[in-house]
Amino acid sequence: MGRTIVELDHITKSFAGIKALDNVHLDLQEGELHALMGENGAGKSTLMKILTGVYSKDSGTIKLLNEASDSLEEVSIRTPLQAQQLGISMVFQEFNLLDNMNIAENIFLGREPVDSKHCIDTRKMYADAKKWLDKVHLDVDPKEKVSELSVGFKQLVEIAKCLSFNARIIVLDEPTASLTDNEAETLFSIIRELKANHISIVYISHRMEEVFELSDRITVFRDGKYIDTVDREHFNEDQIIQMMIGRKLQETIPRGEAVIDQNDVVLEVRNVQVYKRSKPVNLKLYRKEILGIFGLVGAGRTELSRVIFGIDPIGQGEIFIDGKEVKI
């Protein structure tokens, strides 16, 4: 393992009197991928927003490796720009790119290269953008509008932008949440390259499988509290889940034990069309059943739920509850 590059200690943060973080700790080593895990609301994003200058902490210290003196020194990070200048960048759950601008304009927003007449040096801007895009193996024209890019490409542009700030530390907050499997694989190979270049990564994810594939160490938070930091290779998924939920796995909801009576249909969706020209959706939900609806972004899951919930009008098709047709 490398040197410690950043150390957050005794960090506490409240929102309107409610403690989102209570005396938590996190340290990162050079070239490591450190997974930050915990259930929803555990405080993962909040701590990373403190590290990247989006939120201010109520108390605690942040120490950063000073290359010159080769020692950890306390820093105060008040704005995202300050964090970026210290080499700390974050790709947010909700991306921060401006759709109506092109890739290069997004990468250099607010710090565009200028020529001797104080005009934006577009030639240099596009050439530099190309250089950073190459680092994430993104073969696109920097003049292309961000709105034209797939989610996976947008994310790589975000990472290229982090690199353009000479980031030493990159925080990825649920980076695969809306990626296809192929896009996620591309991201993983970029992540491995970043690590090989001594960049440290904080990786927030609920997906156990990818955490175990990628991480060196795992830190677990629960309800705003620090639980532990462990070496990934000495732990298994069940142990991590146990740390996250604070009890043994067996005590979670038993599954597959309910006897489902196929005559007892609670909800039926018949021939509901979610998008114009899409195939109609049919489903039956039996009493005591948990029915999963799966699909990628844009597949129509949310749209279907909205129709069932009466938020959007039902164009075509019918909904039955306990066998009776309803108009919701």
Ligand X SMILES: Nc1ncnc2c1ncn2[C@@H]1O[C@H](COP(=O)(O)OP(=O)(O)OP(=O)(O)O)[C@@H](O)[C@H]1O
Residues forming contacts to ligand X in the complex (CB under 6 A) are: 15, 20, 38, 40-46
Q: Which does 142 bind (CB under 5 to 8 A by kind): Mg ion, ligand X, none?
A: none
Applying CB under 5 A, the span of 13-21, 41-49, 186-194, 274-282 interacting with Mg ion comes to 41-49
Shortest reach from residue 151's CB to ligand X, in Å: 18
Map the footprint of Mg ion across residues 238-277, applying CB under 5 A: none
Q: Which does 323 bind (CB under 5 to 8 A by kind): Mg ion, ligand X, none?
A: none
Contact residue for Mg ion among 24, 31, 45, 125 (CB under 5 A): 45
Q: Which does 41 bind (CB under 5 to 8 A by kind): Mg ion, ligand X, none?
A: ligand X
Shortest reach from residue 115's CB to ligand X, in Å: 41
For 55, residues 6+ apart whose C-beta sits below 8 A from its C-beta are: 13, 46, 49
CA distance 150 to 146: 9
Shortest reach from residue 25's CB to ligand X, in Å: 15
Q: Which is nearer to ligand X, 13 or 168 (CB)?
A: 13
Q: Which is nearer to ligand X, 42 or 169 (CB)?
A: 42
Segment holding 122, helix H or strand E: helix 122-135
The DSSP 8-state label assigned to residue 53 in this structure reads T
Q: Which is nearer to ligand X, 149 or 169 (CB)?
A: 169
Using CB atoms, what's the residue nearest to Mg ion?
Answer: 45
Q: Which is nearer to ligand X, 94 or 139 (CB)?
A: 94
Q: Which is nearer to ligand X, 55 or 235 (CB)?
A: 55
Q: Is 200 in the site for Mg ion (CB under 5 A)?
A: no
Q: Are 7 and 72 in contact (CB under 8 A)?
A: yes
Burial pattern 33-72, b for ≥16 Cβ within 10 A else e, equals bbbbbbeeebbbbbbbbbbbbbbebeebebbbbeeeeeeb
Q: Is 52 in the site for Mg ion (CB under 5 A)?
A: no
DSSP per-residue letters across 149-210: S-HHHHHHHHHHHHHHTT-SEEEEESTTTT--HHHHHHHHHHHHHHHHTT-EEEEE-S-HHH
CA distance 139 to 131: 10
Secondary structure of residue 6 in the 3-state scheme = strand
- Which residues form the interface with Mg ion (CB under 5 A)? 45
